[in-house]
Structures are given as C-alpha cells and as structure tokens.
Amino acid sequence: MKTADILLIEDDLNQCESTACLLEQAGFSTDTAHSCQQAQACLDQHQYDAVITDLNLPDGEGIQILPHARQVQPEILFFVLTGDPSIPQAVKAMRKGVTDYFAKPFDDSELIDRLSHTIAQSRQKRTLKTTESRLSPHPYPNGLVGNAPSIQQLRRDIESIADSRSTVLILGESGTGKTLTARAIHEQSSRRHGPFVEIDCGCLSDSLLESELFGHVAGSFTGANQNRSGKFLLADGGTIFLDEIGTASNQLQRKLLRVLQERQFEPVGSSKTHKVDVRVILATNQDLLEMVKHGTFRADLYYRINVITLRQPPLRERLPDIQNLANFHLHRICQDLERPHCILSPELLERLRQYEWPGNVRELVNVLERAVVLSRGRILHESDLPAEFGPVGDVPHADLISHGLRQVLMAPERDLIEQALRKHQGKRQAAARELGIDRTTLYKKMKRLGLLPSNRDTHVPLPNID
C-alpha cells in the first residue's frame, strides 16, 4: 500500500503540533518546519508528496516556498492554510500554482479527505505520464544527446550512411560515444532486426582474438576441445563492431582485410570457407595513419576501412552540451538506482562546465553516479564531486545568505552527528550523550539531515489511497 509524505509549515507551535498529529493519525508521514528557511532545507533533503503551508511565516509568506518546492520537485502538491481567507488572496494563490486552499479553522475530516483525494489523483496522473513517456520515442534521435554542431552533423551522417553496407571507421577519444554511434548506425539500418555483435580487440591476446572472431575447430590449439563459431558467423545478417582496431596484430589485420574484401574467412585450424553477410564498423582512439607511417598498421587495411569516417567530438569541445547530457544521465541513474530524482545545484553545474573531461562522457556518467550515491539530499552539490575537481570553492557571502543559515549549518551538524555515531558504533543513546542532546532531539536531527538508514521505509500507510 502506498504512503504519502507531507511537509507541514506552520509557525504557531501549538497549531503545528496539533495539525501534524492529525496528519500522522490519518497515516501521513509528516515533517514540520516553522519558517521559509527551515522549509527550504527540508525540501532539499527529502522528497515529499505535498507541502501544506501557513501563509504568514516569520521570514516571509508561505507562498514564497512554492518556486523552490517546484524546482526540486515539479510534481509536488502545494496547499495553503490561512487564518485570514479572502477571495482575492485565494485567487492570487491559485494563479501562482497552488493546488488547494484551506481556510482556518478547518474541518479535520474535510482536510484529510481533500488531501487524500488530491494525492491519489495526482499519483494516477503521474503513473499515466510515466507510462506515456516510456512509450514515447527518445527525445534525442539515435540516443545521442547534445545540440553542438558536431553532434548534429554526426546524427545527420549516421542517418545517411546507416542503410549502406559500407565499412565505417569511428574515430574518437575514449568515452566519447563510439559504441553508442556504432549501435545507432545498426539500429537505423535495415539490418536492425539482425544481430549487433561487439568485440573489443584490445582485451584479448592475438590467438584468442582470432579464434573469437573467426571461430575454431576442435584440436586446432591446446584447450580447443570442440568446434566453436566465431563472432563473424554470429553477426551474419547484422553488424559487427570491432572496437580498438589499432591493437590488432599483423596476422589478424591480414585476415580482416580478406573478410572486408571478400566477406569470407576460414575458422582457425579449418580449411572450410564461410561466407557471411555482415556490415563492419570499426573504432579506434589511435592515429591509424601515423601507425601506417611507422609500419605498425597495414596500409592496405587502412585504406580499406577508411571508407566512411565519423569523428566523435571530445566533450571539452562541446561543453554547452554538458547540462543536457548531465540531466539525461542523472534521470537514468536515479531510475536505475531507484532513488528519488536528483537535481544539480548551479555551482556544481558550473564546475562541470569548467572541467576538462579527459574521460569524456563516460567520466561524466561516472561522476554523476558517484554523486547520486554519496549525496544525502536531492540536490547534488560541489562537495559531491571527486577529488579531481579540486577543493570546493569558497561560497561567496551573498550565496551563503541565499542558502539560509539553517541549510549552511547542516553540513557541520551532519558531520558531528556522524562522528558521534561512528564513535559509539551507531548507538544513538551514547551518541546523543556525547553531543549533549537528548535521544529524541538526535532522532529528529537525524531525520531532518537524512541520516536515518531506512528513512523512506518507515511510513504509515495512507488511508483511502489505491
């Protein structure tokens, strides 16, 4: 059964306590905040289904929280409670995107009923949307994210060459998307229903690679106990993608040349010739022409494979694409890890834009995954970046103020609590004593700071929903 998480924002402590109690009794898991700043900190740490806020708070109007709430969570429901209901105010609130409006004193059961009903409706809509987006095509043709001219050109090239059987050579540094492009060519071609077979020539010894590509017959070498089909045969009717072709030995290069020219080969230890209908795509991050000059790559093979050449641009040459790439992969990573959707803080995004990216898009994907796993909140910060990005820059004074005192103080507070818990092997009573606070306060702080291990699993079921 589904649960719902509510953030209740109310500065009148008695009113806050009694409304929180009502919500908890009705089965909603409820966090409370007494000011706009506290509310913002809660929203940065947890994912809520709904916010219920008083209109007049000590540091502003409750409605001011709405843009931040929607920024971290576009689907969040936003309810306003006020003791001073007036029609113009209500209309103003609705126009700003408020979900519903409750006049104080409210009727307890009406509040709960309307809340449950709206949450249930919104969930239904969200499920529909997710299903639709699963069915709708990828927003970026060929799965290649980016709008840089070089990527747009690459997309056009993929489209125009996909259906020919010509050999394609993809050049590019490691992690720039060579495999992605090879797959895209296959997927766009009339061979897409046939196999796509990939092999990394760099990770096998010469003899193993030869047998892997062309197969072998039993007894052809020590350990070859039975006949085995190679990748070329497996790829018949489809596409074979030979990655790191620059590492192939001279003997293998000769054999490859023959397949490319005649589409036929003999398995290792056999004289039987196999004919295949295979489209060959090759990739390398080495300078093959330079290798030809030095005699380490066969000139005849080079000219044979250099029919259609595609270049993958390094990420540092298309930094304006960083935001789209990062958001695309962040969404996927959070889905894969079954985590609430995370967003990038503006400072972190700026750091991503300033970095050189020697490992290209693969490095970006790894950096994001690491940040999602390590971060406690839903906003990824500079401090979630690995050491290569250097020390976290000093946050300018004005930025500190915009983050709010409470949020700025959260990091050292979290560190101290973690240290105390570590010191006492996770025993909360002892950690609280060490910190000079009682156990309940420690528990509340841990909850607010996202330090409870199964924070999201302890909710009471929501009544009347699903």
Q: By CB under 6 A, name the binding residues for ligand ATP.
A: 144-146, 172, 174-180, 243, 285, 312, 325, 361-362, 365
Residue 260 Cβ, how far from ligand ATP at the closest point, in Å?
21
CA distance 10 to 425: 36
CA-wise closest residue to 284 among 309, 256, 258: 309
Helix H segments across 306-449?
Answer: 322-336, 346-354, 360-374, 397-403, 405-423, 428-435, 439-448
42 or 145: whose CB is closer to ligand ATP? 145
Give the residue at shortest CB distance from ligand ATP: 177
Residue 99 Cβ, how far from Mg ion at the closest point, in Å?
47
179 or 407: whose CB is closer to Mg ion? 179
28 or 241: whose CB is closer to ligand ATP? 241
Which region, judged by CB under 5 A, interacts with Mg ion, from 177-185, 337-345, 387-395, 420-428? 177-185
Class of residue 359 by CB neighbours under 10 A (exposed 0-12, middle 13-18, buried 19+): middle
**Residue 177 touches which member of Mg ion, ligand ATP, none, C-beta under 5-8 Å by kind:** ligand ATP
Residue list 225-264, contact with Mg ion (CB under 5 A): 243
Does 40 bind Mg ion (CB under 5 A)? Our answer is no
Residue 361 Cβ, how far from ligand ATP at the closest point, in Å?
3
179 or 188: whose CB is closer to ligand ATP? 179
Kindly state the helix (H) or strand (E) to which residue 170 belongs, with its residue range: strand 168-171
CA distance 254 to 266: 13
What φ, ψ does residue 57 adopt, rounded to 5°?
-120, 160
Does 142 bind Mg ion (CB under 5 A)? Our answer is no
Give the residue at shortest CB distance from Mg ion: 179
Q: Please count the other Cβ atoms lying within 10 Å of the Cβ belonging to residue 364.
A: 20
CA distance 182 to 186: 6
Question: How does DSSP assign 253-308, residue by residue?
Answer: HHHHHHHHHHSEE--BT----EE---EEEEEESS-HHHHHHTTSS-HHHHHHH-SE
174 or 383: whose CB is closer to ligand ATP? 174
Q: How many residues sit in the footprint of Mg ion (CB under 5 A)?
A: 3
Token duo for residue 116: 């449950």
**Residue 174 touches which member of Mg ion, ligand ATP, none, C-beta under 5-8 Å by kind:** ligand ATP
408: three-class secondary structure by DSSP: helix
Residue-wise burial string across 153-191, b where 16 or more C-beta atoms lie within 10 A, e elsewhere: ebbebbeebbeeeebbbbbbbebbbbbebbbbbbebbeb
Does 179 bind Mg ion (CB under 5 A)? Our answer is yes
Q: Please count the other Cβ atoms lying within 10 Å of the Cβ belonging to residue 303.
A: 11
50: three-class secondary structure by DSSP: strand
Which region, judged by CB under 5 A, interacts with Mg ion, from 13-21, 62-70, 175-183, 452-460? 175-183
Residue 311 Cβ, how far from Mg ion at the closest point, in Å?
15
158 or 278: whose CB is closer to ligand ATP? 158
118 or 174: whose CB is closer to Mg ion? 174
**Residue 285 touches which member of ligand ATP, Mg ion, none, C-beta under 5-8 Å by kind:** ligand ATP
112 or 330: whose CB is closer to ligand ATP? 330
Q: Enumerate binding residues for Mg ion (CB under 5 A).
A: 178-179, 243
